[in-house]
Chains A and B, each alone.
Chain A
Amino acid sequence: MTTLVSVGYIVAFVLFIYGLMGMTGPRTAVRGNWIAAAGMTVAVVATLLQPGMGNWLLIALGLGIGAVIGVPAARRVKMTAMPQMVALFNGVGGGAVALIAWVEFRVTTGYEAEPLYVAIASLFAAIVGSVSFWGSGVAFGKLQELLPGRPVTLGRLQQPLNIVLLAAALACAVIIAAGGRSEWLIIGVLVAAGLIGVMVVLPIGGADMPVVISLLNAFTGLSAAAMGLALDNTALIVAGMIVGASGSILTNLMAQAMNRSIPAILAGGFGSGGGGGAVAAGGGGDRPVRSTSAADAAIQLAYAGRVMVVPGYGLAVAQAQHAVREMADLLEAKGIDVAYAVHPVAGRMPGHMNVLLAEADVPYESLKEMDESNSAFPQVDVSLVIGANDVTNPAAQSDPNSPIYGMPILHVTSSRSVIVLKRSMGSGFAGIDNALFTDPKTAMLFGDAKESVGGIVEELKSL
């Protein structure tokens, strides 16, 4: 590596770290993102300036194809589809690592003349990259609803099968490291690792998906760092490891917010067992549900002093955030205090709901974190739950048999009254019933969230 390239890489590291630091605060985040992007540009240019580079046409072809696919995909994706888009971008990164590892094997004829550490790092990158690619693909399929969102399991065969696959991938890798030259070995590594990715993500329920995407993100970072060791490239090592470490922490923070441990998530089957049915029976499924109309809901809201909106994924899929804002404006014009209680995992990714509400110009200051919301609920006259289910489910606090027992929730029942906007009596993404719906304080307004809120807005205007 020449001095020029090394200096370019060092500049890129500074920009990455400075950019990431900026991204940890709402005010500096936009700039931070562009600083990191500038760092990436510097790193790419420095790499292309390496002496002895060739194959310019093919390089331009690869970059061109990537840009032509990536730019419109990022520009056109709807805000609600953001989680699966992140999963997809993460997956192709892992795929790139796996492909490079494969070519490395081919051009070095099985790491024939390479030191052992190169083989180990490259094989590690191949395994983790392939897991990330296929796992992210399945996560994308689930979030895009191409695959069933509910856990798909093989029952008792699941764990032994995963162990067999892992053993197969490792066995192929060990044979290669010990001197195996057959190309089928590396293909075996990639295929077995890919199957692990599929089999591990397939049984994971939709509610845990954000944590999984974050984990796969960290995986891709680690595989990039390993690839850096194999290629002796500091840019890959530094950037990959920063992502690997920060991604692991982010994954842990997310898992904590849901009171789930990462091994428990990976063991799978969230909301899949008989437990869900038991909760349905014990959770008061036969108590009467009180339904209300948009007109009654509007009157109830208009005569409240404080209203707390509790948004959930239902709001996101119905694209109701703009209607909610219109309603909040009408209420605020009447002197009513409106705030939003945002659960850390509302929506399908942490912070997802904040993004959607911010899109509808809801002021950042009205978005309340969970602790702040829970201390505010006793003073709230009406809690308006819009398409949120699991994050308000009292069973998480009261029923040790519930699959979500222990997950911190928003205590909407401590407010004076509750209106729940919901499409039907169906259960939430985690597949469990909610005793909130049959609480005497609760009135249900059935229908599409956007139409229901629109109805309330019309009624408020005519009051």
Chain B
Amino acid sequence: MPIESIAILVLAGFVGYTVISKVPNTLHTPLMSGTNAIHGIVLLGGLIVLGHGVDGVLNKILLVVAIAFGMINVVGGFLVTDRMLGMFKQRPGERRPGERGSGAGKEGGQ
């Protein structure tokens, strides 16, 4: 019975909800890109099905394509996110922490 799986599914949903509820607008794009990279986890699905052995050329081709797709999703996703976030790097000593806090608070209220 998949009851444990469904319990895990529901709890993971709440984790996703809690983690994301308060994010400044500024980070929406990088965050979308980051979560985008994480669903590249489908790569594991391809690995498991192919790794445990399938017969037939078509099955193998489809799975290799699926693994390639998943890999593009993962590496592309994380690298693009890193490039985007790299743009926010501050020159040393310029950041005023007080402003950051108030800005983030405002976002949450929207």
Contact = CB atoms under 8 A, between A and B. Distances in A.
Interface in A70-94: 70-71, 73-75, 77, 79, 82-83, 85-86, 88-90, 92-93
B32 A232 contact: no
Interface size class of B (residues with CB under 8 A): 35 or more
Interface in B46-72: 46-56, 58-60, 62-72
A257 B37 CA distance: 24
A95 B14 contact: no
A52 B72 contact: no
Contact of B32 (A24, A213, A225): A213
A95 B60 CA distance: 16
Contact of A50 (B51, B54, B72, B77): B51
B16 to A, nearest CB: 3
A97 B77 contact: no
Interface in B71-110: 71-91, 94-96, 99-100, 103-104, 106-107, 110
B84 to A, nearest CB: 5
A169 to B, nearest CB: 19
Consensus secondary structure, chain B interface: helix
Given A71-B75, A74-B75, A369 B15 contact: no
B29 A351 contact: yes
A47 B48 contact: yes
A352 B29 contact: yes
Contacts of A21: 19
Nearest to B84: A355
Interface stretch (A159-167, A170-178, A191-199, A235-243): A235-243
B29 A40 contact: no
Nearest to B55: A107
B18 to A, nearest CB: 9
A103 interface: yes
Nearest to A230: B45
A33 B35 contact: no
B72 A73 contact: yes
Contacts of B85: 23, 29-30, 33
A221 B22 CA distance: 20
Given A16-B38, A47-B48, A245-B15, A63 B26 contact: no
Contacts of A82: 29, 33, 80, 84
B10 to A, nearest CB: 8
Interface string A182-209: 0000000000000000000000000000
Contact of A33 (B32, B41, B76, B82): B82
Contacts of A361: 91
A40 B37 contact: yes
A220 B17 CA distance: 16
B96 A365 contact: yes
A270 B70 CA distance: 33
Interface of A: 16-17, 19-21, 23-27, 29-30, 32-34, 36-37, 40, 43-44, 47-48, 50, 52-55, 58-59, 61-63, 65-67, 69-71, 73-75, 77, 79, 82-83, 85-86, 88-90, 92-93, 95-97, 99-100, 102-104, 106-107, 117, 213-214, 217, 220-221, 223-225, 227-229, 231-247, 249-250, 253-254, 256-257, 342, 344, 349-352, 354-356, 358-359, 361, 363-365, 367, 369, 371-372
Closest 9 CB pairs of A and B: A66-B71, A62-B67, A245-B16, A74-B79, A350-B28, A241-B12, A53-B51, A70-B76, A246-B20
Interface of B: 2, 5-6, 8-9, 12-17, 19-56, 58-60, 62-91, 94-96, 99-100, 103-104, 106-107, 110
